[in-house]
Amino acid sequence: MGMTRPRLVCQLAALLVFVLTGAVSAQAPARFGIGRPATPQEIARLDIDVMPDGTGLPPGRGTPAEGAAIYASKCAACHGKTGREGPNDVLVGREPREGFPFAQNPRLAHTIGNYWPYATTVFDYVRRAMPPMAPGSLTDDEVYALTAFLLNANELVANDAVVDRSTLPAVKMPAREHFVPDTRDQTARKPRP
């Protein structure tokens, strides 16, 4: 089958674009002279990741009692008075205590107490994402207190627990063993179709 004319034109056009963009990018200046380097303060505001082992946790502390008051005013409207009622995500509950039957029963509520593998992630998530209309508005002490409150409501820390950067990573979550790190070689993975 011979090459049709429109197809040849397309291929020539593509070749021209390739050559031209190559020429342009070869001459691109090292800097474009726009913008400015981010300040250390600006980077610090965004660089807030907390790792599962607690790396990245800031100074500060909080207790369940302190967290209960903040929860009532800033969280209960969406997550329910005790964290079980909704209307948004259920945060509290240990059932089912045995096994991990979430795949068999998709109606089970995933909570911090039955599903989250790391306590440190509660701090990270609440600090970066909650409340949704003002993420980043909570102080680190408030986030520690809310984390203490949520872990206590899930029967994972005592009523008088002090949650801070040293105690939080030590909290063992019930779902911890149900998650494994993905150690597959990223480069060996097949691209998605």
CB 107 within 8 A of CB 101: no
Q: How many angstroms separate the CA atoms of 106 and 103, rounded?
A: 6
* CB-neighbour burial class of residue 2 (10 A; exposed 0-12, middle 13-18, buried 19+): exposed
Q: Which is nearer to ligand HEC, 42 or 152 (CB)?
A: 152
Q: Which is nearer to ligand HEC, 62 or 169 (CB)?
A: 62
Q: Which is nearer to ligand HEC, 54 or 91 (CB)?
A: 91
* Residue partners of 34: CB distance under 8 A and separation at least 6: none
In angstroms, what is the minimal distance from the CB of 71 to ligand HEC?
Answer: 6
In angstroms, what is the minimal distance from the CB of 77 to ligand HEC?
Answer: 5
Interface ranges with ligand HEC (CB under 6 A): 74-75, 77-79, 88-89, 91, 110, 122, 125-126, 130-133, 146
Q: Which is nearer to ligand HEC, 110 or 167 (CB)?
A: 110
Q: How many angstroms separate the CA atoms of 92 and 94, rounded?
A: 7
Q: Residue 97's closest CA among 114, 110, 109?
A: 114
In angstroms, what is the minimal distance from the CB of 85 to ligand HEC?
Answer: 13
Question: Which residue has 């259920």 as its token pair?
Answer: 90
Q: Which is nearer to ligand HEC, 16 or 93 (CB)?
A: 93
CB 149 within 8 A of CB 67: yes
In angstroms, what is the minimal distance from the CB of 1 to ligand HEC?
Answer: 52
* CB-neighbour burial class of residue 131 (10 A; exposed 0-12, middle 13-18, buried 19+): middle
In angstroms, what is the minimal distance from the CB of 100 to ligand HEC?
Answer: 15
In angstroms, what is the minimal distance from the CB of 172 to ligand HEC?
Answer: 18
Residue type, 55: T
Torsion of CA 88, 170, 54, 163, to 10 degrees: 60
Q: Which is nearer to ligand HEC, 43 or 51 (CB)?
A: 51
